[in-house]
Amino acid sequence: MATVAVVGGGVIGLSIAWRAARSGHIVTVHDPNPGSGASWVAGGMLAPLSEGWPGEDHVLSLGAASLDRWPGFADALRAETGVDVFTAEESLTVALDAADAADLRTVAEWVGERGHEMRLLSRAEIREFEPSLGPKVRLGLLAPTESSVDNRTLVDALRVAATAAGVRFSDAAVHDLADLPDDQVVLAAGSASARLWPGLPVRPVKGEILRLRVRPGATPPPQRTVRASVHGRPAYLVPRHDGLVVGATQYEASDTQVTVAGVRDLIADAEKIFPALGEYELFEASAGLRPMTPDNLPLIGRLSDRVVAATGHGRNGVLLTPLTVDAVLAELGGRSLADAQYACPGRITEASVG
């Protein structure tokens, strides 16, 4: 089997390393601080159906194919580590005004026509499912097959699984892929990938999140991931064992400083969805850099005979992890994965072999 260098130790890189080592490859992960980047600042939503929109067929196809793989991926990880990473089993998108309600109906119809299960909920039905949601919620869209995971529990479990599989870790920074002695290189460096493969169309986009803890006597959090659009801004609340993750802002910026305006907007928007939010403890505000591409699809596939890309996942890195792993392992074995065809790097880049 080949020696494989995985450059980048986020959820994507750690997952590829774990599975590649289990397949018999000799694997080294290169990252000064694995799991500390965008993977650490994530909501953990697995929601490709709720985020579907007419015309974005390729985005839906990739997301749905990866969502289908998540139960098996999580089962394999739990078998090796004893850790269950799931925090919710369904997602609920809610509308606060007539325009948002119309959008939910559009999503339900379009996604349903493509064979995926979704259900519109009336105001009364929403109260039965999630009685703590705000009085302005007027329509809901339930996705029974969508779930969410605790991203930090996932990172920790993947490190344990990778180590147990024999993966080695190097904290030396990689400045040139040509310096690595391995037979194959997997570029999974997120927003830093373009520095290592000039011309790769990946840019950093800043996102801020809040982590909230339930205080004694506070209203329990929703049991499902809850999403909405508030004043045109996307907002979500994702359950955790001790509270909620609230997100997320999005800026064309490359710093990881949390802004006052960002925290203000997140709290204000989330309170419209879940009024009891003010009872909770705000114990963390953090920001990460999502690796975005021009068409919002990842870059998964060969850049050269030696280098395979696994980057550009934007805000869907956790969702797309199982599909990306299968696609990269197929490339390492000399094949291509049909389900990942829309993520082929050649569609938007002519990056030459360095």
DSSP 245-308: EEE---BS----PPPHHHHHHHHHHHHHH-GGGGGSEEEEEEEEEEEE-TTS--EEEESSSSEE
Q: What is the CATH number of domain 3-42+151-200+295-347?
A: 3.50.50.60
β-bridge mates for residue 57, sequence order: none
- The pLDDT tens digits along the chain (354 residues) read 789 999 999 999 999 999 999 999 999 999 999 999 999 999 999 999 999 999 999 999 999 999 999 999 999 999 999 999 999 999 999 999 999 999 999 999 999 999 999 999 999 999 999 999 999 999 999 999 999 999 999 999 999 999 999 999 999 999 999 999 999 999 999 999 999 999 999 999 999 999 999 999 999 999 999 999 988 889 999 999 999 999 989 999 999 999 999 999 999 999 999 999 999 999 999 999 999 999 999 999 999 999 999 999 999 999 999 999 999 999 999 999 999 999 999 987 544 333
Q: Cα separation of 189 and 322, whole Å?
A: 17
Q: Cα separation of 163 and 22, whole Å?
A: 11
Please name the residues in contact with 326: beta carbons below 8 A apart, sequence gap of 6 or more.
69, 337, 339, 340
Write the DSSP symbol of residue 90. Answer: -
DSSP 3-state helix, strand, coil percentages of the chain (rounded to 5)?
35, 25, 40
Dihedral sign from CA coordinates of 154, 155, 156, 159: positive
The residues of the chain that CATH labels 3.50.50.60 are 3-42+151-200+295-347
Which architecture does CATH list for 91-144+204-292?
2-Layer Sandwich (3.30)
Residue 353 has what pLDDT?
Answer: 37
Other CB atoms within 10 A of residue 79 CB: 9
* Helix or strand (DSSP H, E) at 29: strand 26-30
Residue 281 has what pLDDT?
Answer: 98
The residues of the chain that CATH labels 3.30.9.10 are 91-144+204-292
Q: Which spans in 139-190 are helix H?
A: 151-164
Residue 302 has what pLDDT?
Answer: 97
